[in-house]
């Protein structure tokens, strides 16, 4: 789903960019026919193509903005799900763990939630500090 959302947004971005370039090209071509050429013609075409693009390309710009908004919202939702999973607040397990969390917090000691992940992180950091010695001691 994420790839289709970003792919659609990128496709619309390229379409809008191409249409903007086409408006500039048409303006530059018209000025070329009127014998206004070179850098002056390009600058005038640029100045004239901006307001024309705002008016003529309102629909593609709106579709692009909607697609980018949908893509951004989908990304935010994925990030929220990931954050909840990293904190251990998985929605599917929330109802099952509510009863267990009271039991674990009683046996975990003061100020602890009974989560073994913190102990694992502490053990890993101690091992890293001690040069990977671990519980078995140094290996030779």
- DSSP secondary structure of 35-84: T--HHHHHHHHHHHHHHHHHHHTHHHHHHHHHHHHHHHHHHHHHHHHHHH
Q: What percent of the chain has pLDDT over 90?
A: 54
Please give the model's pTM, rounded to 2 decimal places.
0.54
Q: What pLDDT was estimated at residue 117?
A: 53
Q: Is the pLDDT of residue 140 over 50?
A: no
Residue with tokens 């929605």: 91
- What is residue 90's DSSP assignment? -
116 vs 112: CA distance, rounded Å? 10
Q: Break the chain into its structural domains and give their ranges.
A: 1-89
66 vs 83: CA distance, rounded Å? 26
Average of pLDDT values for 59-69?
93
**How far is C-alpha 105 from the geometric centre of its chain's CA atoms?**
36
């Amino acid at each position: 789903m994420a790839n289709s959302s970003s792919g659609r947004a990128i496709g619309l971005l390229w379409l809008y960019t191409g249409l903007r370039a086409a408006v500039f090209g048409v303006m530059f071509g018209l000025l070329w026919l009127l014998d206004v050429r070179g850098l002056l013609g390009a600058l005038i075409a640029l100045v004239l193509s901006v307001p024309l693009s705002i008016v003529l390309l309102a629909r593609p710009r709106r579709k692009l903005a909607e697609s980018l908004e949908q893509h951004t919202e989908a990304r935010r939702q994925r990030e929220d799900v990931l954050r909840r999973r990293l904190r251990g607040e998985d929605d599917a397990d929330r109802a099952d763990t509510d009863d267990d969390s009271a039991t674990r917090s009683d046996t975990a000691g003061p100020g602890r939630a009974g989560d073994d992940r913190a102990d694992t992180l502490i053990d890993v950091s101690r091992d890293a500090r001690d040069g990977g010695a671990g519980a078995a001691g140094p290996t030779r």
